[in-house]
Structures are given as structure tokens and as C-alpha cells.
Amino acid sequence: MAKKESRELTDVLSSSQKKYKPSKEMVQNSNAGDYEAILKKAAKNPLKFWEEAANNLKWFKKWDEVFSDKEKPFFKWFLGAKCNLAYNALDRHIEEGKINKKTAIIWEEESGRTRKFTYQELYTEVNKLANALRGMGVDRGDRIAIYMPNIPEIVFAMLACAKVGAMHSVVYAGFSSKALADRIDDAQAKVLFTADGSFRRGKVVDLKSIADAAVKNAKSIEKVVVVQNNKAKVNFNKKCDVWYHDFVKGQSVYAHCAEMDSEDPAFVLYTSGTTSKPKGVIHVHGGYPVGVLQTMKYVFDIKGDEIFWCTADPGWITGHSYIIYGPLLAGITTLMYEGVPDMPKPDRIWKVVEKYKVNILYTAPTLIRAMMKYGINWPKAHKMESLRLLGSVGEPINPEAWKWFYTYVGKKRCPIMDTWWQTETGMNMITPLPSAPLKAGSACKPFPGIIADVVDKKGKSVPTGKGGFLVIRNQWPSMIRTIFNNPERYIKTYWSEIRGMYFAGDVAAKDKEGYFWIQGRTDDVLKVAGHRIGTAEVESAFVSHKSVVEAAVIGVPDPVKGEVIVAFVILAGKVKPSEELNMEIRKHVRKEIGPVAVIKDIKFIDKLPKTRSGKIMRRVLKAQELGLEVGDTSAMVN
């Protein structure tokens, strides 16, 4: 590791050892009970722990075997079982008949519109849509692309897919038409769900025209189902477009769940890796909900009547697992907010918490830091007495933001669950439980049943306080099963870097008490405002501009967004650098990738530092940019 990183690590490990102990009440009332005791219990027999967890769900047919590694690394869980993800998230509750009238979804949008759906109403909506999909021939195993804002219809669409056994592929609405087209194409999706628009910072984002542009290049799409969200005027293609309300008109309010094998894929979710082609991460009907529900119970301490607000977007795994599936599997109320948290004023987020009496607020360090900039008076003016628990996810939370969140939002009453996990893990992996003593900036210890470690290249545990690669030594039910249509890449990315262990791609250290301190990615993956973006994806967007021959991008620290992008660009032969060209290239990249790629700076240069084999040495660019020691450059040719 570079010198700078290890220095930072010692700083973190020595300065943040103050412990925030949970109250007696918190420990006594928590579902998981005493922290060390539950960790010990699960470690003794993880398979038993997961089998008991699986019994919290309903299965059409139970498993013959809990776990198999016969075809490793294609691990299998609950072999022989029959089930359905949507059945467990929804139909099961309706059959049990206890929460039909409970609110499943509260939705509020930036301009103030609100809608609510009870479990019964959600069930009706999902059934109508499932029937409409079946009516047009959608069947098990088909892929359905979803490019929608954070609105109730995205939940209907995801659950309807799961119900009929089709795989949803949700693409974040901040991605460009090209990114959408690439993902549709890789999955060969038949149907695309979208909306006429999405409301954000006082304006309607025209999603439909982005979707239209994508469909032009993605030939597999037969039908585009358009939700009327903003009544915005949109271009309508009579050949393949249909309004959502027309699509479901007259459909029966009952629909059966497809009986799926526990290992059948439930959805694909694309995430960025080290090449420009995103990876389609596969999660399955059986194991995924087992893991997610267990974290709802143990991490978020769900008792049954909570109002849960996860501020992520459904387009990321956080949204899949903790806006939609987690809360519904647990039978509680999920809050969906469409828009930004600081409109019309910086206390909108705290107002929403008070208005709906939110009990659990699960958010990201970047949002906390953005709120910190407005000052403490905004959260101070709100008591937020309903809050019981806070959560953080997406990137390491700096101790300063942790303390601010703890003090001014949680009012020193609410523990913060700093949850480390990934698209690939499906569920929280390294995380405190409410009964754990907390340290500001540490994600605490592995979840019960998970064996995480920090190792060197050979897989040997590194000594306490030393940085190394974060790995998971065992398996868990909600783990990635493969990469869509690319099993070789699945093996290579996760199971080949270090023999016999799941390679997470993060750098971490453990302290004396076994607490994990996550440092960030080891690979060429950026975290811009908590969003995962591959450097290769951004670079290929740069070089697709006619004046650019080569480009390298790096992430540089940003006080609010965590990381932002700086690009080094080599221009074609006779092209001269200029301010106009800079703007033009920025616009081009934004169009290629979408607003998620926040570019701080573009630098025009003549040469890129490379190894003999031609690999760009981004680490050298980064050190230079940040004024640090460049480190070992013996492999560099120029």
C-alpha cells in the first residue's frame, strides 16, 4: 500500500477509539440480544443460523439441503426448495391476513404530492401488472428493464416481475441513454418500464426521451410501458409505447406467483467493475430474501410497526434491499421520497422525518455531509422524537460526519448502523447491531454467520492495525450467484484474486477489538456521492469524443461527494486545447454516462504514465494531482 494510506490508517485507529455504548434498554429490547453472544452463537454453526432464518419465510416446498459447494464457486442455498421472492414480500402477508390494512408504501415528492398504499392495495396493483405482463407473453426467465424514478410504480413493476418469474433489471435514472441501452442489450430485455418524467430540484427530468434514445439502439425491447408521473408532454411511439394505466386497465386483481426454484434468478442488477462493460449481478429467489430479512431483524431491529426511510434510489442495491424488499419482507412501512432532501429549504429531510414519524433513517455519508454544510440549526429545530435508529451506507463515513449525525439528528439517542456491503453481497455484511458498542467511523464487526477478514495477497490474515484486502471467508444466502451471461468473469473477479475467498475489492484494517475500518476500493472503481462508477466506463466515454485519443480518470477527495472525477486527456493530432473544448467534452461525457459522473476537472496532457505492458498508472496521476509522494515508479516506462 502507498505510504499515505497507511499513515491515514494509524490516525484513524488511534484517534477514534472512544466507544458509544448502547443503553441497557437498547440491548434488552433488541431482537439480536447481546452482541457478542449472538456473534458467538452464529459462528458455531452458520448453516444452522441461516436455516433458522429461512424458516421465517414461507416456502412452497422446503429444501433438501441448506447449502452446497459441490460446484464452487457457484454456491447454492436451500437446494430443492420452491419459493418466490414476491410471494414472501407480499402475498404471504395477504394470506396471513394480519397487515392487509397497514400502509406498505408512503410516497412523497419534492413539490409536495403524496400517495399511500396499504398492503392490500399494493397486492392489487402488483397482480394487475403481473397479469398484464403475462398477457403480453412475459414468462419465467425473461428480462424486464426498469428505468424509473423513486415512485410506487417502480415497486409494482419489480414485484410483478418477481411474481411471474421474470428478472427485473433496474437501471438508475441518473444514467444516460447509452448506459441504459448497454444494460438493456446485455440482458436482452423484452420490456422497458419508464415514466414521462421525474421531479428533481424543482424541475422535471425528461426520462422518456432518454428512454426513447436507448430503445433506438436496444433492439430487444418489444414494449415500453410509461407511467404518467408528471403529466409532462412526451413523445409517444404508437408502435411500442403504452401508458401504464392503459396497460393494466381491466386486468384481474388476482394473480398467482410462479413457483420458482430457490436458485432461480430473481433479478439482475448492473454494477461497475474494472472494465468498461458493467457486470450483471445475479440474485436469486431463495437465498436473497433470507439474508435481507435477517438484517432487517437484527441490524434495523424491526418489530413490525416501523416506518422505515432509506434515502437511496431503487436503482441501486441499497434501494432493492432496503427501500423495497427488506421493508416488505418484514411487513413494515417503507417511505419513498422522490426529489432532493434540501428543497424548498435545507430542512426538508428533517421535516419528512417528523411528518411521517420515521423510526429508522438509513442514508449515506455524502448526504450527511451535504446537510452539515447548512449548519446545525436546521436539524436542531426538529425534535425528530420518532427516530430510534440511524443507518449509513455507500462509503466509509468520516468520524466528523458520524458525530454530527449522531448528535444533531439522532440527538445522542439513536445508534448508527454503519453498514458495509455491496451490490454483490445483497445484504449488510459488516455492521453493528443496536446492542453493539459503536466507534465513529468503523463498520464494526461482521454480521452473525459471516466470516470476514483482512488478508495479504496470499490470503494470510494481516496483523491488527495493518491494511490489507477485505475478504469473506465463508458463504451466505444472499450472495451473488454469477454474472449474467458471464460465469468466467464471476470466477475471475471474486474468486481468483485470493484463493478460496470472496474478494471484495476494498482495503480495510482491523483494530485490537476486531472492529473493521474500511478504507476504500483497491481497484479502479470510483465512489462519487456513494455511487459506484468504473474508471474504465468513464474513460471510454471520454475517448468516444472525436477530439480525444486517450484518457485516464482518477477520483480525488471531495468534502461532500467523497470523490469526484479528474480526467487527463490526450487530444487528437492537431486539436488545440481550449475552454470551449473542455466544456464540450464535459457535456459529451455527461451525455454518455449521465449526471452520476461528476467531473471536477479536465486536464489536457501529452503523455500518460504507463507500465511496460501499457497499463495506465493512475496511482501516479493521483499522487501528482494531490501533491503526494509518487511511490514506486520502477514499472513506469515514460
Task: List contacts with ligand WT7 (CB under 6 A).
Answer: 271, 316-318, 393-396, 418-423, 443, 504-506, 518, 521, 532
> Cell digits for 29?
429490547
Q: 335 pairs with which residues across the strands?
A: 106, 309
Residue 362 near residue 299 (C-beta atoms within 8 A): no
Quote the least distance from Cβ 189 to ligand WT7, whole Å. 21
CB of residue 127 vs ligand WT7: minimum separation in angstroms? 30
Residue with smaller CB distance to ligand WT7, 443 or 552: 443
Q: Checking DSSP bridges between strand 516-521 and strand 502-510, what pairing results, if any?
A: antiparallel
Q: How far is 393 from 365, CA to CA, in rounded Å?
A: 7
Cell of 531: 455511487
Task: Find the shortest distance in angstroms from Cβ 444 to ligand WT7.
Answer: 10
Q: In whole angstroms, how close is the CB of 583 to ligand WT7 at the nearest point?
A: 29
Nearest alpha-carbon partner for 286 in 52, 56, 46, 59 = 59
CA distance 530 to 421: 12
Q: Is 94 exposed, middle or buried (0-12, 13-18, 19+ CB in 10 A)?
A: middle
Query: Closest CB to ligand WT7 among 149 and 278?
Result: 278
- The distance of closest approach from Cβ of residue 507 to ligand WT7 in the complex, given in angstroms and rounded to an integer, is 9
Compute, in degrees rounded to 10, the torsion defined by CA atoms 423, 426, 427, 428.
Answer: -30
Q: How far is the CB of 627 from ligand WT7 (least distance, A)?
A: 24
| N-to-C CA span, the chain | 22
Nearer to ligand WT7, 132 or 324 (CB): 324
The smaller minimum CB distance to ligand WT7, of residues 192 and 317, is found at 317
CB of 535 to ligand WT7, least distance (A): 14
Residue type, position 229, single letter = N
Q: What is the DSSP letter of 88?
A: I
Task: Report, in this order, helix, strand and coil percent for the chain, each rounded to 5.
Answer: 30, 25, 45
Q: What crossing angle do the helices spanning 207-217 and 177-187 adopt, rounded to 10°?
A: 50
Nearer to ligand WT7, 262 or 295 (CB): 295
Q: Which is nearer to ligand WT7, 318 or 334 (CB)?
A: 318
The residue among 179 and 258 lying less far from ligand WT7, judged by its C-beta, is 179
Residue 598 Cα distances to 304, 555, 590, angstroms: 39, 10, 8
Q: Give 455's Cβ-side CA count (13 Å radius).
A: 20
Give whichever of 581 and 596 is closer to ligand WT7, judged by the CB atom: 596
Cβ atoms 192, 145 nearer than 8 A: yes
Distance of closest approach, residue 442 Cβ to ligand WT7, in angstroms: 9
Per-residue cell: 550: 486517450
In terms of Cα–Cα distance, which of 532, 511, 513 is closest to 523? Answer: 532
